Amino acid sequence: MPKSSTDRPTAPDTVWLAAGRHTGPAPQNAVREHLRSLKNSERIQDFLETESASTPGGHVFEARWFVADGVTVRARLVTDGREEVDGDRHWTLAAEAERPWDLAWASPADVFWPAGSHIAWDRDAAAGLLLQDINPLPKDDAALRRLIKDSGRQSWSINVVVHEAMTPDRDGLVPLVRRLPPGLRHRVVEHRATPEQYHAVNWALGDLAASVPRGGAVILSGTPARLGYDQEDFSVRSVFLDGSEPTELLDKVLRFAALPWPLPDDAAAALTELREDWRLLTLEEELAKARAQAASYAEALDAMTKSRDLYREATELAHAALAEMEEFRDAASAVRAAAEGQERNPLTKTLQRVSDTLRARRAPRVEAQLQEARESVHRARESG
């Protein structure tokens, strides 16, 4: 059974995540040259390239740079070397800052991907739609339904569906992302339905339990849905596509972006890899890592030494208990032999009393030693 939204960890407010597609050959040369140029111009502090261990032919690029007030950003781009059926290849990008992410900061995608490149990389991963332009919805109803379903259930992006009340002129064809802060530039997909597609788009949105007002817009909840999402709060009755600022819609996109986001499994994995597989360390970070490893080794050695000492103590106690038992058996055997050999002798009762006395004195001590030995073994196992 899929996890519900409340069962999933939410994206920390320090994190920026995006997933997309690129077409054409492997892009590592273009990305590498772009990062090298940024490093030479001191726009980033450093970068590192490695091959991906999880995807054959894939590459991992790590980069570190500073934003406002000297805040450090660490980011990791992973490109998939495997070609999909449609010829596209996927990429994921996870970035984290030392303080909550400010949407006024530059998009991390612009740090890795070169502008004006021959590689078409700025497409959403779910359906291959443009991240920085308007996406007209398909005329075919089946294709429209499939695209809306993929966008609503598989995309990491913020998907905005706009219905045109009438065919807009050039001023009405300005992409929404151009009016949004830089930090949302590669995290929003804008879908456009023509005037005659009103019923068809709402038929398709029915799979997601959503609808778009005539001449308005709706922001899809995503899957899993963002916490606190309510469709009424994120619908706009009228969007004037005349070149004027769609203030209400822009405000709702910003509010939606601020909602807690329960991470899809692949997004959670990208964040975990960023934090746990990070290799681009500063000298101070390498020293701290070495010290942490040394402390961990010392702790493990200390635990092994304690475990060895506890086992040795347990062995000694067990041997002592066995010796006591052996001594007790020898004394008891001597008493029984004397009693059997002199059954009618007046000393028989006296010997029996000696046997009983030995049993009363020795047995509790042996049992105590055995119990102590068992406890020592138990402690040794727990510490080991």
The per-residue pLDDT for range 18-54, each reduced to its tens digit, is: 999 998 777 888 999 999 999 999 999 999 999 887 7
| Spatial separation of the C-alpha atoms in residues 190 and 175, rounded to whole Å | 8
Q: Where are the alpha helices (DSSP H) in the chain?
A: 28-40, 108-112, 141-154, 198-205, 247-258, 265-276, 283-341, 348-383
Residues near 365 by Cβ (< 8 Å), separated by ≥ 6? Answer: 324
β-strands 46-51, 158-163 pairing: unpaired
Which segment of 129-138, 213-222, 342-351 scores lowest on mean pLDDT?
342-351
**Predicted local confidence at residue 204, as pLDDT:** 97
Residues near 325 by Cβ (< 8 Å), separated by ≥ 6? Answer: 366
Q: What is the pTM of this model?
A: 0.76
**Predicted local confidence at residue 92, as pLDDT:** 96
Flag whether pLDDT at 353 surpasses 90.
no
Average pLDDT of the chain to the nearest whole number: 86
Residues near 226 by Cβ (< 8 Å), separated by ≥ 6? Answer: 5, 256, 259, 260, 261, 262
Q: In the predicted model, what is the mean pLDDT of residues 125-148?
A: 96
**Predicted local confidence at residue 373, as pLDDT:** 67
CB 219 within 8 A of CB 158: yes
Flag whether pLDDT at 348 surpasses 70.
no
**Predicted local confidence at residue 1, as pLDDT:** 47
The residue that leads in pLDDT, 189 or 22, is: 189
Closest CA to 67 of 112, 33, 103: 103
Stated as kind and residue range, the H or E segment containing 91 is strand 89-97
| Spatial separation of the C-alpha atoms in residues 190 and 295, rounded to whole Å | 51
What angle (nearest 5°) sits at the alpha carbon of residue 350, between those of residues 345 and 356? 130
| Spatial separation of the C-alpha atoms in residues 252 and 234, rounded to whole Å | 6
Residues near 49 by Cβ (< 8 Å), separated by ≥ 6? Answer: 28, 32, 35, 59, 60, 61, 62
